[in-house]
Structures are given as structure tokens and as C-alpha cells.
Chains A and B, each alone.
Chain A
Amino acid sequence: MTLLNCLLLSFILFGIGIFGLLRRRHLVAMLISIEIMLNAANMNFITFAYFSAEDSSAGAVFNLFVIAVTACEMAIALAIVVSMYRRRHSLDVNELRSLHE
């Protein structure tokens, strides 16, 4: 387990997140993809904290905050998803096209 391996892993996770975001049409699935991207970043923090940083506690603390913030963000996102579902009875993002010029 080296620094590079860990970075590669988080990078791949990030890529998976992007891929999922572009590939999936279901709103909740897209939100999960975003969650994966955020966790890839968290992974990075842990990696750097463990391997190279002078101030290793900072990276670990950052993680906790990010998790909290992400939870807030997801709460709001899910609230919006719920209200979407109530309006349209569908969570297919491809149907989100009523906004156009």
C-alpha cells in the first residue's frame, strides 16, 4: 500500500462517480454517484494525512466535517427529490426539460 496506489484508487473512485453521474438517469442514483465523488476526495485527505502531511490531524478532521456537510447537502437534495416526485411522479432526469427558452 503506497501513496500512489491510494491516490490512484481515489482517482478511480472519482471517475466512477463521474461515469455514474453521466450514465444513470435516475435522480437518486445520480446523487449516489456524487456521494462517491465526494468520498473519493475524502479518501485523498486520509491518504495524504497518513502518508505525507506534516499536519496529519488536519486531514482527518477535514474528513469529519466533509461528511457532515455532505449529509446536509444530501438532506436538502433528497427533500428536493421528494418534492420533484410529488409534482411529476417520476425521477427520470431526462424528463427535466420544461426549462428552455
Chain B
Amino acid sequence: MIPLWLIPLFPLVGTIVLAIIALSSSDSKQGPAESITGAVAVLFPILSFLSVVTLSVGMPVEGIRGTIGTWIDTAAIQVNIGFLFDGLSRVMLLFITGIGSLIAIYSVGYMHKDRSFARFFAYINLFLFSMTILVLGDSLLLTFLGWEGVGLCSYLLIGFWHTDLKNTKAGNKAFIVNRVGDVGFLLGMLCLVSIGGSALLSYDALNAWLLNALSLGSISNAMPLLSLAGLLFFFGCTGKSAQIPLLTWLPDAMAGPTPVSALIHAATMVTSGVYLLARLSNLFVLIPAVLNIVLFVGLLTAFWAAIAGLFQNDIKKVLAYSTISQLGYMFMAAGVAAFDVSIFHVFTHAFFKAALFLGAGAVIHSLTGEQDMRRMGGLLKKMPLTSLVMIFGFLAIIGFPGFAGFWSKDLILERLYVSGPMGPYVYAIALLTAVITAVYMGRLIIMTFFGKYRGSKENEAHIHEAPASMLIPMLLLSVGSAFAGFLWAGLIPGAEFFREMLAPVVGAAQSYAMLGHTAAHLSPWIFAALGTLAAIIGMLIAWYLFMRPVPEAKGGSEPQGFGASWTFAFDKLHEYVGIIPTKVVAWLLDVVVNTIIMKAQWLTGGIIEILGDGIRAFQVRKVRLQAALSFIGMALITILVLIYGGLL
């Protein structure tokens, strides 16, 4: 059995090697040799993936635990650096390192001839390191370390082309909004520590404590703090997973290179919020009120983002909003305590969304950076393989029967109806969202691949299929988006591999949550049929609406009119709730308080200067005068003593 710490170690070594390469070549004009750098960049994620696979094969049901050493050892907090490899982290690690490796291979082609080639891969490896730490950590603190690490990498990679002000602004926005969420995470940990000490930061200890408190009945005392902790953790998740209210950063994050969008802002990092909910499932099922909040936040987010997706002209922005919308689905599933289903959707979503992003990246790559869909069209014939990948991803995301998204989305919808509060209504809205999903995704496919080419002539000349290093990962991912769903095909009896894998981790929590519910009497086939119907209706609407000449693109790709006010609603909200009050406080501090302090400083400084001059003039050189002054001083002290002693 290989040790657990190998999994994060490989990307870490990769980071260091690549950082050395990047730094040592920083003075040269050419940059490092791409072949060696690319090989190193791909090697370490693949090694990490292979060690995950090796570990997965022989994993016992209760998981593998390994402790490296003590991280923090103070009177207040003791934390070990320990790793936990169980069903949940296995699934997450498999697709994180797997898709991470594929995207690293893809990036070698995509980042070809970029001056900062090595720097890019150093960041990617650092990201994989942080992400594996996040998933593998056996305590909240270690997860938080990874959580911050992925946030940092996201910031670095969004602003990767930092010579463009727009990109750095997007990076700043992502970082700051994420920090707001991180405050929630930190305060949540603080709540747990104040309930039961720092031991509760460890997942195992937390679960044991909850179980113990539940059986003793002493849980009700801790309930207010536990609910607060859950709410705060969820707030942290909304930051990282781009849910209402902290979702505005994700569309802007598309400023980064497309492989980054695929890896970080679609497949892995943004799902860490869902991971945290599943990891803390034992805590969340005890606080149903918070779970309801999760459910409705997810529902609102999914619906809002689907509508916003309709208005986008930038191909990556459409995908960004669809990511937000799909994350909403995952949160909905978590909100009805169907954690295994939400992780399953994370899993399938990783495949088809990565495929879609990589396909979009290939399109952008061949159009030399053009991202506006109104300047595309008719690419089906020119890039058949890319189109195929994109269409596979499209069919998966809208839930076309058989494809990955069908199975996971179908399960989510079913659970919403069966076990959610106000089940049928929530189900209806979620189904409507599915229809809209099909519409905006159909719009994307139609505008990109069908019709006539509408872009510039010079771009048309060299539209080409992507190179092999980009195509192979895309094709592999499209295979995944076609077949990944069969790991848990609800309609096929016995195809429940995925559920069984997660059962040791979240099973107990889910059965506790289901205690009061009676099983639904509806056949799963009805849900499947309704879901399929939604997808087909959405496709038809898209066909009817968008298979017509597209108006010529004018200005930027930003949506106009109602679309703009819908899209930027939450930016406006942030403006009023967060930014303007902060600016007012900053102005107060800067102008009012600072002025007073400055004046006081000048005054004190002036007095001190004068006194210093006085003392300087007081430096006598004649020794007799020195002695005389001392005697005078002594006389003064004598008088003081006499007065104080009451003798005078």
C-alpha cells in the first residue's frame, strides 16, 4: 500500500520544479523549452492520478487514514496533519487528478508559444496540490488550507495574462468575493471550537461527537451554535461555489485561459462547496432549517443563472452561467439531504462541463481569440471533431437520455419531488430550469456550429481542427460525458455503484434525514420521461428561436437592455450592500480621522522637536557647571522628599 501523502506530494514537487524552471528562465527571451516543461507539467498530475487509482483499488470500506505529524500544538488548538481517504474523497480525487491530468495535456497545446508557459503549469500544479489537500485533509483546518490555496491559484490564474487590466480586475474580484465567503468558513470553525474545543475540527471527531451528543440527548444545548456554524459554513460554500449571494465573480473569472476555466471554474474548485456540504453531512442533517436555506438558495441560483445564460453572447460566459446553474442543482440536492446524488452530479458535471469548456477553448483557439458567438457559426464542417465533443457535452448537460447529465439530473429532480419541502413546486421550478438549460445550451450550439460563418475573413482562412494534444483529452472527456452516468443509472436495477461507494460516508446522515419521510409512490420512469420531455422541449424552443439569421454583432459581447439588468443584478446588489458602505467608511477614515491624527502628530512632533532643542542647549561642557546642576537637582529632590515625608 502506498502512503497517502504521495497524492499531494507529486503536484507539490511539480510546482517546485516548474517554479525553478520559470524563475531560472525569467531572464531569457525565449522562455524554457516547451517540450521538457510540458513533460514535467503533465508527468506529476498523472503520477498523482495513478497513485489515487492504486489506492482506490484496495481501499477498505471505512477508508484509509494517515497522519504525518503535528501541525499546530498550542494550548488552545491542537491539529495534526492527517489525511482521510474514504469513499467521498476517493471520488473527488479520482476526477480531480484525472481531469486535471487531461487538462494539463490539453494545456500543453493550448498554451503553446506563450511566454509564461512554465509559470502557467507551476500554478496548475500548485492548484492540484491545494485541491488534493482540500479533499484529502482529515480536519476542517487542513481543508481550509487547501480552500485558501485553491482560492489563491484561482486568483493567480484568472489574472494570468496580467498585462491586461481587465484580467487583473477580474482576479481581484474573484479573490475579494471569495475572501468574504472565507470569513464564513473561519467563523464556522470558530463556532465548532467554541462548542467542543479544537478536537471538533477533525471530521472523525466531529462525527463521533455529534453521534454521542445525539444519543445522550444533549445536542439541543448546542443547537443554536451548531445551526450558526452550519449557516456560516454554507456562506463559505456560496463564495467558493458561486451561489447567491456571492456569485458575481465566476462569470468574470472567464478572463483566465480556457483550460483554467475548465479545470478550476467548472470541474473542480467550484465544486468544493458541495464537497464540504457532503463532508459535513452529519452536521447538516441535524439542522434542517439550514438545509432548507441551502435548497432555496440552490433553486434560486439555478433559475437565475439559467435565465442569465440566455442573454450572453460570449461563449465562455454562457458556460460560466451554466456552471452556476448546475452548481445550483447540486446545492438543491444537498438541500434535500441527497448528498450522494449531489456528489454524483459533481462527478458527471465535471466530465461534460470540462468537455464543453475544452471544446469552446478549441473554437476560441482556432478563431485566434474570438469569443463572441455572433461572430461564429457554421463551424460544424470545419471542426467536426470539436463539434462532436461539444454536442456530446450539450446532450449531457440538457439531460438527453443515456448521457451522463441525464442520470444525475434525473436523480436530483426525483429527490426534490420526493423528499423536499413543498416538493412538487420545487420540482416544477427545477424542471422549468432544465427546459431553460436546454434552450440556452441549444442557442450556444446553434450559434457556434450551425448556420453560416459570420466572423472576419482573416480568421476564416485558418480555422482548423485543434492539435492532437488538445483533441485527445477532449475526446476522452466526451466519452466520459456520454457514459459516466452509468455508474449510477437509477432506471437500471443494480447499477448503483456510485451510491454504494458513498454510502459509508453520507449514508447514515441521509437515512437519518429520511426518517420522517414516506417513500414516493411514483415510478422513476415518470420522472425520467418528464426530464426527457423537458430536454426535448427546450431543444425545440432553441431550434425555433435561434435557427435564423443572427443580427450583426455591434460593440462588446456584453448583454444589453433587460439582459444586462438581469445579468448584473447581483453586481448591483454588491455595489449597494458591500462596496458603497465600505467606501463611505474608508472616506471617513481617510479624510476625517486621518486629518485629525495628522494634525495631532504634527503638534506632538513640533513640541518634541522644541524640547529636543532645549535639551541640546542644556548640554553643558564645563565640568563645574555639570556638578553644580547635579547639586541643584539633588537639592530639588531633597525638597521633594521633605515635602512628601511631611517634614517641611
Contacts and interface: CB of A to CB of B under 8 A. Distances in A.
A39 B631 CA distance: 19
Contact of A97 (B616, B621, B627): B621
Contacts of A99: 621
A21 interface: yes
B256 to A, nearest CB: 62
Contacts of A97: 621-622
B619 interface: yes
A58 to B, nearest CB: 27
A96 B626 CA distance: 12
Contacts of A96: 621-623
Contact of A94 (B619, B622, B627): B622
Interface in A58-101: 93-94, 96-97, 99-101
Interface in B594-635: 616, 619, 621-624, 627-628, 631
A96 B624 CA distance: 10
A18 B629 CA distance: 12
Contacts of A25: 624
Contacts of B627: 21-22
B624 to A, nearest CB: 6
B616 A93 contact: no
A93 B631 contact: no
A94 B621 CA distance: 9
A21 B624 contact: yes
Nearest to A23: B624
A33 B85 CA distance: 89
Contacts of A100: 619, 621
A18 B631 CA distance: 9
Contacts of B628: 22
Contacts of A93: 622-624
Given A18-B631, A22-B627, A22-B631, A101 B622 contact: no
Nearest to B623: A93
Contacts of A18: 631
Nearest to A95: B622
Sort chain A's interface into a size bin.
10 to 19
A94 B624 contact: yes
A93 B627 CA distance: 12
Contacts of B624: 21-22, 25, 93-94
Residue picked from B619, B623, B628, most chain A C-beta under 10 Å:
B623
Nearest to A93: B623
A101 B619 CA distance: 9
A97 B620 CA distance: 9
Interface residues of B, number: 9
A101 B613 CA distance: 13
A95 to B, nearest CB: 9
Contacts of B616: 101
B617 to A, nearest CB: 10
A40 B621 CA distance: 28
A43 B508 CA distance: 97
B478 to A, nearest CB: 83
A101 B624 CA distance: 18
B224 to A, nearest CB: 68
A93 B628 CA distance: 14
Contacts of B622: 93-94, 96-97
Nearest to A98: B621
A21 B631 CA distance: 11
Interface in A1-40: 18, 21-22, 25
A22 B626 CA distance: 10
Nearest to A94: B622
B631 to A, nearest CB: 6
Contacts of A22: 624, 627-628, 631
Nearest to A24: B624
Nearest to B621: A97
Of the candidates B624, B628, B631, the one having the most CB atoms from chain A within 10 angstroms of its own CB is B624
Contacts of B619: 100-101
A15 B622 CA distance: 21
Nearest to A101: B619
A25 B627 CA distance: 13
A22 B635 CA distance: 15
A96 B619 CA distance: 14
Contacts of A94: 622, 624
A101 B621 CA distance: 9
A25 B628 CA distance: 13
Nearest to A25: B624
Contacts of B623: 93, 96
Contacts of B621: 96-97, 99-100
A22 B631 CA distance: 10
Most buried by A among B616, B619, B621, B631: B621
A40 B288 CA distance: 92
Nearest to B625: A22
A97 B621 CA distance: 5
Interface in B569-610: none
A101 B623 CA distance: 15
A97 B626 CA distance: 12
A96 B623 CA distance: 8
A21 B627 CA distance: 8
A94 B627 CA distance: 13
Contacts of B631: 18, 22
Interface in B234-288: none
B425 to A, nearest CB: 87
A97 B619 CA distance: 12
Interface in B186-200: none
A36 B137 CA distance: 82
A99 B621 CA distance: 7
Contacts of A21: 624, 627
A22 B623 CA distance: 9
A30 to B, nearest CB: 8
Nearest to B616: A101
A99 B627 CA distance: 16
A22 B1 CA distance: 92
A96 B537 CA distance: 107
A25 B631 CA distance: 17
21 contacts: A18-B631, A21-B624, A21-B627, A22-B624, A22-B628, A22-B631, A25-B624, A93-B622, A93-B624, A94-B622, A94-B624, A96-B621, A96-B622, A96-B623, A97-B621, A97-B622, A99-B621, A100-B619, A100-B621, A101-B616, A101-B619
Given A97-B621, A101-B619, 13 more contacts: A18-B631, A22-B624, A22-B628, A22-B631, A93-B624, A94-B622, A94-B624, A96-B621, A96-B623, A97-B622, A100-B619, A100-B621, A101-B616
Interface of A: 18, 21-22, 25, 93-94, 96-97, 99-101
The 4 closest A-B pairs by CB, nearest first: A97-B621, A100-B621, A22-B628, A93-B623
Interface of B: 616, 619, 621-624, 627-628, 631
